[in-house]
Structure 1
């Protein structure tokens, strides 16, 4: 390898923004990472996380060789030995206990990994187990179900056309911290300011006055978990004030106006006392939205991870449709990705099988992760006896983490595809460490589908793979080939796959796609000649082509979604409502727990980067419990005082941060902390341990329509430590 300084043009994979980066190297050393000013999509934008790519690459605590747990501790082993041992162990567990005895859990970094997306499924199919789990059911599952039902494919999710809208309503989202989420959007602050500079509005509805709310035109506090009520009232107002503008969509959704009968009982007056937003405010929100011209209502994670998250996301889509803002420039629009995997991927099967213990439905071949611990702990046929963890840390990131921690201790075998010994991977018998992001080829298979503008970019690996390192796809394909061989199945096809590599699949998708560049189809070769990427233009109206249903109609699926109104009515309006154990009100000593995120801490493993965790927030660490001054006074709590927060399932102790940026009756604790488990090995993270908010979230409380976890609106009590 040359020792001269070289510049490489790659992509940051640490969040959804797809920012282009310029990486300067000398030999095997990364000298700097800055924004690529010539990247047509991100135009030089990067957030502080970009330099964490160097930190992950350099980290002396990062695992570079497979490890096996022995009586004498972790021992380095060869790749051949490790892959053979994992395949043989999984095979033996399945031979003894059945195919369902091995479960998989995939963390969200897999969505940013071309090889894991394209070749990981060969391994899952070789396992043959239905016991599959992922971060989806603690995040965006409602989005997938809504899009599957309405548009025919789980990933055909319309995206806010932020560059052309005049009114951007954000419900439960904080894109200044997330760089967008299911909205791939670099330069988000500049784009939000541009809406206001052209005379438009940015309106944020959130129980916390977030960083995004700070620069918005309006912010409205809303009680956690009541977003569905607000949306019902907003749609009621559309009909009541004769603001329906859906004529263009009726050809695709002829029963759209039938929505009126479902919302007739949900006037702004009726829901206002429960949401904390006044009747006149709700009506004004709708009238301002409809008067703006092109407008878009966008709901993100805060709107999803609550008791009625799926209904909320459905109602958001209906509100956009009824106001005439679906498939309209400046509204919700479908993307036109260059390498479109959707026609070749599963559309999302609904409830075709169920969990063994609680009978919870699967979606797209995955069970709700809230059921994982009980599937390990409950004896009987189908009991989970072994786990495969792919780039995930569910003990910190899924409900009732302590219960899952105990469950993992009962497993016969655990393998982790990870390059850290985390709170979860410390349970592994074998750890298989993949290379870091800059050491593998990259094309954003997923996030071009969610981008606010069409573009295409291929980032070749900056450092070549050595004989002692492997990418995720090599690990998964190696395990799949071994499992098929152990099961007596033919393995001839693997030779072709090893030769093709994931970039060959991307090349096929590009060549068969809708775009040409300078007279020839897009391809990997074309993109290699354009290292900064290629701009493919703004989002375009795409109905009916965007619909995956055979009849090319939008299926509103009232029988699926609107039946949840019965549960909603009982939950919020029953005379026997227990306010201390519901998410609609906060009375007595109970507060409603919500999460929050920070620009520097997208994933728990970024906490091992000193530059990502250094610095303080008003003299406090980032892992604080934010409460309103009214609640602090009520409980005799002072700023920075250590407090105890208790829920049905657990208890944590952390500093209080008193702020009027949080709604009275609400408490906010950030996600991804809790680095205090014996046996994990990342020193920087442990020095900034914090507490895990998922020691408080309840695995037994779900959005019943989808099985998604309820992380917002969890009732807790507080007191001085």
Structure 2
């Protein structure tokens, strides 16, 4: 074992906590992992998951080390990189020429820990004329993005650490995090009598156990409960009238709707005591600072976009924005979550289903509709980068059929995933610890950070980093070559400022501007220290950060103008533990609000709120509601493909209330058949008093195909979900509201666990 500790970051959630890794004697195994005390936000904190990352790097993952091409008989053969790039380029060009460029589709671009390679994808998309794209964000966050864009013109976040009252809606940060040092901060808040936690969640989560107020509502009724809380603020004259008059418009329209909300009825609909709802709402109203954070529990549930809208009223009506411990608008190197905020009847749509495109992303739940049709504009080729839609998107049965119907599927990934097994070509990339890597989840405030992670171990022969793959795809199409690179390299020999002028001259041509990432990679990239060519795109990002957020960059110590951009870029390159990129005053949030005014009234959503129907229930055929994909202590996204990383609940038990378990006559470890409208599976049960009667939960990240091609432990949740169960505005799935039923299994009769499509 080496004595040196190498800095890096966890790759399993958006927080990307800093870690340090000590390698074994073989120079590859992660013998020890600890939190990095030098990381500017996590400061030595980790949860248990980061400590198991050797299973990602060195476990039984089905690692790829050579390009693969599918044979006519369905098996794969290894080919060289030149052949792979040449054939893929030719087929993309052929399909685009024959059917139109709108038939080419891109999915992915990075997960919880790898965005840097995806920053080069726009050059490939421009080269082949790809107009439509999507990613996992389009099954999670686009409702919130659209609401924020409409109201503020910018995405917002919650500063939980300094809030007097923190409100968590469909979120369990004890497991899912969502802000730095989550467990530490939650425990601090729970011990402080001057502060309060409000949790809105049908499950008594670890966070709920620390809360002063747990509103344990009926699954899928969040919009009714939140409407009642907003209406209580209005009824009891608890709104910040002066603040609202100074900073918002549309208040009168909102008040008209909220005054008509039947508070008592909606609390009964949610099955939460009116007095408890009132007490929690009053606690929010009298706080000096309030932060509100929602997550997948509502973003993948009924009325999710409307919930994002009504939930925002808790902090808007009480005037908690752009102050310590409240909501804020963040800076960043690369825009994340931004949308133009088109009204519902305008804006871009997908070519077949006509689905609303938010933040440039086609809703994940309509992708199969865009393929499984005879529409002339249907997608015919799909480039999938570091993503696993065959497993991670709703209705896996249908998604597999959609991939099979395409003329071309190309997958860029580290391992032979469920999606890679369906591809025509598979291009192997380094793991996230074998290359320079970063994420653009730079959402902190007032001190925002960026962490360019350096390689911890060398990549094996035969793989290429994603920037190189994209550069070769662009060059194979003939759009860039040495004639384009030579003038920029010559300018670079005269210094970065000369290079900047030359580069700006080149990208003044709109066609070349779209290829800027590859231009930087091939010219600036080779000059960067430590083979950090992949970081070249961050040079432009650093200068854009200075242009957009000059005060924050200057306060962070980088100066002003061109020199500030260079200083920031150099700090990024050398800051192996992560660096502060901007240090904002709280008033900076107002500078990011479009027009300086928050627009409270969104007519379409107000109309929906004013006409909420009674919740639809079919308790006879489907007496249970399944939450598909719960985050637990030993679950992660599908990049953790070695089941050995789990030291507890290895098969991912179905959580069920003790009352329901008693009624069914099952105990911990017994097997039941779980059936939904889309499929069925046998699964082990774990009765718990955390669940409401009628509510079930399966964890995320299980049911993978193992490295030998056989089934791994647990149930894949999306074998049980439906593509057409989705939000009416942005198409996000209802993974947390899946009608279900249970049957007790006879082990001798029913045999081993199976998953069957309906």
TM-score (norm 1): 0.88
Q: Does 1:436 align with 2:431?
A: yes
Q: Which residue of 2 aligns with 1:583?
A: none
Task: Note the C-alpha offset of 1:519.
Answer: 6.1
CA pair 405-341 structure 1, distance change in 2 beyond 3 A: closer
Instruction: Give the total of aligned pairs.
Output: 684
Aligned residue in 2 for 1:616? 648
Distance 2:334 2:370 in 1: 35
Contact 2:651 2:713 in 1 (8 A): no
| Structure 2 partner of 1:703 | 727
User: Is the CA contact (8 Å cut-off) linking 2:213 and 2:276 kept in structure 1?
Assistant: no
Match of residue 140 from structure 2: 139
2:537 is matched with which residue?
505
Aligned to 2:38: 38
In the alignment, structure 1 residue 689 sits paired with structure 2 residue 713:
yes
Relative distance call for 1:518 and 1:136 in structure 2 (3 A) is closer
Cα-to-partner distance string for 1:193-215 (whole Å, 9 max, x where unaligned): 22233321122221111222233
Pairs within 5 Å for 1:518-533? 520=559, 521=564, 522-533=567-578
Deviation at 1:557, TM superposition (A): 4.5
Aligned mates of 2:282, 2:441 — CA distance in 1: 33
The match for 2:218 is 223
The CA deviation string for residues 616-656 of structure 1, in whole angstroms up to 9 with x for no partner, is 33xxx442221112222333444322212222222222112
Q: Which of 593, 603, 620 is 2:637 aligned to?
A: 603
495 and 295 in structure 1: CA distance in 2 versus 1, 3 angstrom threshold: closer
The gaps in structure 2 that reach 5 residues or longer are: 481-510, 526-533, 746-758
Deviates more, 1:467-476 or 1:190-199: 467-476
Determine if contact 1:252/1:552 at 8 Å carries over to the other structure. yes
In 1, the alpha carbon distance for the partners of 2:125 and 2:249 equals 40
Using the TM superposition, give the Cα deviation of residue 222 of structure 1 relative to its aligned residue in structure 2, in angstroms: 1.0
- In the alignment, the residues of structure 1 paired with residue 64 and residue 694 of structure 2 have an alpha-carbon distance, to the nearest angstrom, of 44
Report the equivalent of 1:515: 553
Q: Conserved in 1, the CA contact under 8 Å of 2:651 and 2:702?
A: no
Give the Cα–Cα distance (whole angstroms) in 1 for the partners of residues 473 and 59 of structure 2: 27
For structure 1, the 5+ residue unaligned runs are 573-577, 581-585
Quote the Cα distance in structure 2 between the aligned partners of 1:686 and 1:89: 31
The CA distance in 2 between the partners of 1:601 and 1:499, in whole Å, is 41
2:596 corresponds to which of 544, 548, 552: 552
Report the Cα distance in structure 1 between the residues aligned to 2:54 and 2:585, rounded to whole angstroms: 37
Equivalent residues of 2:231, 2:259 under 8 A apart = yes
- Asked if structure 1 preserves the Cα contact closer than 8 Å seen for 2:700 and 2:717, the reply is yes
8 A Cα contact 1:66 1:82, kept in partner: yes
Corresponding residue number in structure 2 for 1:86: 88
Offset, 1:562 = 1.5
Deviations 1:168-207 (A, max 9, x none): 1211001111122xxxx23211111222333211222211
Aligned to 1:203, what secondary structure does the other structure show? Answer: strand
Give how far 1:145 is off: 0.9
Offset from partner CA, 1:398-441 (integer Å, 9 cap, x none)? 22111212222222221111111122210011111111112222
Correspondence 1:176 to 2:138: no
Q: Secondary structure of 2:105's partner?
A: strand
CA-atom RMSD, angstroms? 2.9
2: CA distance, partners of 1:709 / 1:214: 28
Distance 1:396 1:477, change over 3 A: same
Alpha-carbon separation, structure 1, partners of 2:653 and 2:188: 33
SS at match of 1:627: strand
1:401 and 2:403 correspond: no
- Which whole-Å CA distance do the structure 2 matches of 1:308 and 1:332 have between them? 22
1:368 maps to which residue?
A: 363
Which stretch shifts more, 245-254 or 390-399? 245-254
Q: Structure 2 vs 1, CA of residues 606 and 348 (structure 1 numbering), >3 Å: closer, same or farther?
A: farther
> Which residue in the other structure is 1:166 paired with?
164
Q: CA shift at 1:450, angstroms?
A: 4.8
Task: Please state how far the C-alpha of 1:388 moved relative to its aligned partner.
Answer: 1.6
Which position in structure 1 is the counterpart of 2:413? 418
Aligned-pair CA distance for 1:81: 1.5
1:99-158 CA-to-partner distances (Å, cap 9, x unmatched) read 23222221751x6334234211222233323442321222111121112112213xx22x
C-alpha contact 1:355 1:362 (8 A) present in aligned 2: yes
Q: What is aligned with 2:607?
A: 563
Cα distance change, pair 492–637 in 1 and its aligned pair in 2 (3 A): closer
Deviation at 1:533, TM superposition (A): 3.4
Distance in 2 between the 1:90 and 1:258 partners?
50
SS at match of 1:705: coil
Shift of 1:509: 3.5
**Is the CA contact 1:226–1:275 (under 8 Å) kept in the aligned structure 2?**
yes
Contact 1:334–1:542 (CA under 8 A) maintained in structure 2: no
The answer to whether structure 1 residue 714 and structure 2 residue 738 are counterparts is yes
| Pairwise CA distance, 1:468 | 3.6
- Decide whether aligned partners of structure 1 residues 294 and 99 sit closer, same or farther in structure 2, where only a CA change above 3 A counts: same
Task: Give the corresponding residue for 2:123.
Answer: 122
Conserved 8 A contact 2:151-2:602? no
Q: How far does residue 87 in structure 1 lie from its aligned partner after superposition? A: 1.4
Q: Note closer, same or farther for the CA distance 1:310–1:589 as it changes in structure 2 (3 Å cut).
A: closer
**Secondary structure, aligned partner of 2:524:** helix
Per mean C-alpha deviation after superposition, the further-off stretch among 202-211 and 52-61 is 52-61
What TM-score, normalized by structure 2, do the two folds share? 0.84
SS class of match (2:293): strand
Name the residue aligned to 2:316: 321
User: How far, CA to CA, are the matches of 1:458 and 1:42 in structure 2?
Assistant: 15
Offset from partner CA, 1:359-390 (integer Å, 9 cap, x none): 32222332211112222221130122222222
Give the deviation of 1:554 after TM superposition.
Answer: 1.9
Moved more, 314-323 or 382-391: 382-391
Structure 1 residues 194, 638: closer, same or farther in 2, change over 3 A?
closer
